[in-house]
Structure 1
């Protein structure tokens, strides 16, 4: 039976389908629904107190986002993290970073920078890994979204979501990554404030490589997750 934390579940003002999708997405990204978890429509409908229809729509959307796999026989299953996916996610992010940094620094506002600083302060204050991972995702999205490029934003959003799964793994391998990451975030934010595209790009790529290395080591310790689909 799938167990979800639904204390904040609200249907308005979003559609039921959109609300269910977001709650399931967050549960997957934060590790509450780990890879391999079966998502039974009837159980989810009962947990959310909704009909099966919005559950079915939510699962279909999560499948297009690469977070779950739909099988005619097994049903919906949370996608297992793999080395192949990990390498591809970070390779794609690395390709897009120089472009998004250039666009973001050209258009970022003082309000954007202030909000990013607030998120960093919250990250440094928390000891909860799930919350930290979510704040980390928000921080990078805050900077990326300043680019004001719709298609680029959508691509980076999906990659950022997928990265959250591997960031969780990186902390299981290297708990000290929290302090190191926060220092890297401060340096990245300063480069944005200085409008230094070259330094910001270099820092972000180095930051991603640190997470990639830690997640790669963690995955290699999980035999069932090492192969790609």
Structure 2
């Protein structure tokens, strides 16, 4: 077999870049439910070749964020309440497991980082910055996911978390999101105390609170535009 000429690391980075850009645009409402995703437009917008775009779209279909009709079109999926309901307990269970595995190896620096992320989360909610709130929430939970060191947990979360992110955007745009701040604090306190059972239960509860969020379509992006956002 001839040695491939394309550097593997570069290809992986391009694939991940395309996936992240499209996932985030769907979650934040820039790409709205029912919108057709044309390969040529996506290549121009994201600045990658055909292969990373196609790989990203396949991953997004597995996540439930796009629907592909072979030979016809690929469109952004509607927010499916049934899919969210099915994914939620799986994501909650994976985060609970990550916390349970992480607590015995969490050091003071990691616990401090979790507190800092939660403070940033609370501040973002107070000023109505949903994007910053989602980023801080991601960073907080990622501390335990990374510390747990379980690759299967990470893979499951990568597949199913994007569905819940669309609901989180709705929750974090309302006063209901402030409830998560207190749950985070209690979870972090349990982590600091070396209590994996309590911390895991609180992590599970935090993710299951999304059941209280409206199952409406995700909010539109600040720009309010329909269609692709071009890179500057």
TM beyond 0.5: yes
Question: Separation in 2 of the partners of 1:209 and 1:98?
Answer: 11
Paired residues of 1:167 and 1:215 also in contact (CA < 8 A): no
Q: Once structures 1 and 2 are overlaid, which stretch shifts more, 95-104 or 143-152? A: 95-104
Shift in alpha-carbon separation, 1:20–1:209, aligned structure 2, 3 A:
closer
How many residue pairs match? The answer is 206
Shift in alpha-carbon separation, 1:98–1:50, aligned structure 2, 3 A:
closer
Paired residues of 1:184 and 1:203 also in contact (CA < 8 A): yes
Report whether the alignment pairs 1:118 with 2:119: no
Report whether the alignment pairs 1:128 with 2:129: yes
Shift in alpha-carbon separation, 1:31–1:135, aligned structure 2, 3 A:
farther
Secondary structure of the structure 1 residue equivalent to 2:213: helix
Higher relative contact order (CA 8 A, sep 6+): 2
* Match in the other structure for 1:163: 164
CA RMSD of aligned residues (A): 2.5
| Alpha-carbon shift at residue 74 of structure 1 (Å) | 4.2
- Flag structure 1 segments of 5+ consecutive residues without an equivalent: 1-11, 220-229
- 1:1-229 correspondence to structure 2 within 5 Å: 15-126=13-124, 127-171=128-172, 175-216=174-215, 218=216
Paired residues of 2:122 and 2:181 also in contact (CA < 8 A): yes
Question: Scaled by the length of structure 1, what TM-score is found?
Answer: 0.77
Question: Separation in 1 of the partners of 2:95 and 2:53?
Answer: 34
Paired residues of 2:87 and 2:164 also in contact (CA < 8 A): yes
Q: Once structures 1 and 2 are overlaid, which stretch shifts more, 81-90 or 108-117? A: 108-117
Runs of 4+ in 1 over 6 A off after TM superposition: none
Question: Separation in 1 of the partners of 2:171 and 2:136?
Answer: 16
Q: Once structures 1 and 2 are overlaid, which stretch shifts more, 60-69 or 39-48? A: 60-69
| Alpha-carbon shift at residue 114 of structure 1 (Å) | 2.3
Q: Deviation per CA, 1:46-102: give whole Å up to 9, x if none.
A: 223444343223222322333222112542212221111111111213443443332
| Alpha-carbon shift at residue 14 of structure 1 (Å) | 6.1
* Match in the other structure for 1:222: none
Paired residues of 2:99 and 2:196 also in contact (CA < 8 A): yes
Question: Separation in 2 of the partners of 1:157 and 1:61?
Answer: 10
Question: Scaled by the length of structure 2, what TM-score is found?
Answer: 0.77
Question: Separation in 2 of the partners of 1:44 and 1:128?
Answer: 27
Secondary structure of the structure 1 residue equivalent to 2:148: coil
